[in-house]
Amino acid sequence: MAWFGTAVSLGVIVGPAFGGLTTREDLHFTLGLFHIKIENYAPPFFLAAVLMFLTLLVALRWLPESLPSRSATVLAHQPALDWTKLGKSLLLLLGLATIAQFGLTLFEAVFALYAQEILGYGPIQTGFVFMICGSVMAVFQIIAVSYLSRYVSAIVQVALGFALMGSGIFLLLMARSLPIVLGVVGILAFGMALITPNLTALISKRGGEHTGTVLGIQNAANSLGQVGGSMLGGVLFAWQVSAPYSFAGVLLVGTGFLLGWRKKHQLWLLMAALSRW
């Protein structure tokens, strides 16, 4: 799951850099009697569309089928998903996935506006910040999760991740220079790097033979967080510039505190492991 998260984070690294570098002056083309003008912010969208089409062709040609040839028979005899057996713990994990994605999406949706309003950043600086965010998530999802799993449980890592995310968002309100902004965004990204693979692994194990189903439900929970984060972030930003990050910081730190309170002993082991690392 950590490797999978790293693959996703690589897209977060390349995407903002790709968007910032391809934002140029207006492009003009003349085709016979027609004059075509592409606004300076439009090329990234056109190029992304081409990339998605090429990805579709690659998937159709080389992506292997995951189901066996007798899949129809297997699926016909597979028992239905029984929510009563999965229990409240799965609902808790799905709720945590929603909150984590809510916080990350709120940060991403508001940052371009916040950076322009408060920090005076343009597309290149903003893209660089997102590139650093993705880089930290890509690297530490493998390194940190693999190391810390020897000492503490996954849920303790998730608790620490929420605390780090909330702390990073809080500190962003006080950061003004680019190095400090990159540092606090790195703290936020490190927190998300601890949350994503551990939550996915816990949800996958909880699903048992219905792993595919519960992971699909997790994607729905993530999408719910993305919708809520972008909508509420925009509304709060329109009300007060600092409100989105203040709200998200309280929510994320509070979630981490509630999760970690019952695992205080493991948290001390976690801090000791981090100090040795």
203-231 per-position pLDDT tens digit: 888 776 677 778 888 889 999 999 999 99
For the segment 38-49, what is each residue's pLDDT rounded down to a tens digit? 777 788 888 889
Confidence band (pLDDT; 50, 70, 90) for 16?
A: confident
Q: Residues 6 or more apart from 81 whose CB is under 8 A from it?
A: 210, 213, 214
Residue 100: per-residue pLDDT? 94
Residue 262: per-residue pLDDT? 67
Q: What is the CATH number of domain 89-276?
A: 1.20.1250.20
What's the CA gap between 226 and 108, in Å, rounded?
A: 10
Confidence band (pLDDT; 50, 70, 90) for 57?
A: very high
Q: Is the confidence at residue 245, as pLDDT, over 70?
A: yes
For the segment 68-117, what is each residue's pLDDT rounded down to a tens digit? 665 555 555 556 656 555 667 788 889 999 999 999 999 988 998 999 88
Higher pLDDT, 166 or 6: 166
Determine if the pTM surpasses 0.85.
no
Lowest mean pLDDT among 24-38, 117-131, 262-276: 262-276
Higher pLDDT, 273 or 243: 243
Confidence band (pLDDT; 50, 70, 90) for 28?
A: low
Percent of the chain's residues with pLDDT above 70: 83
Average pLDDT of span 239-254: 93
What's the CA gap between 32 and 30, in Å, rounded?
A: 6
What's the CA gap between 263 and 266, in Å, rounded?
A: 5
Residue 111: per-residue pLDDT? 92
Within a 13 Å sphere around the CA of 233, how many CA atoms are in the beta-carbon half?
24
Q: Where are the domains of the chain?
A: 89-276
Q: What is the mean pLDDT of the chain?
A: 82
Residue 114: per-residue pLDDT? 92
Residue 128: per-residue pLDDT? 83
What's the CA gap between 45 and 49, in Å, rounded?
A: 6
Say which residue the tokens 């190095």 belong to. Answer: 179
Percent of the chain's residues with pLDDT above 90: 34
Residue 6: per-residue pLDDT? 75
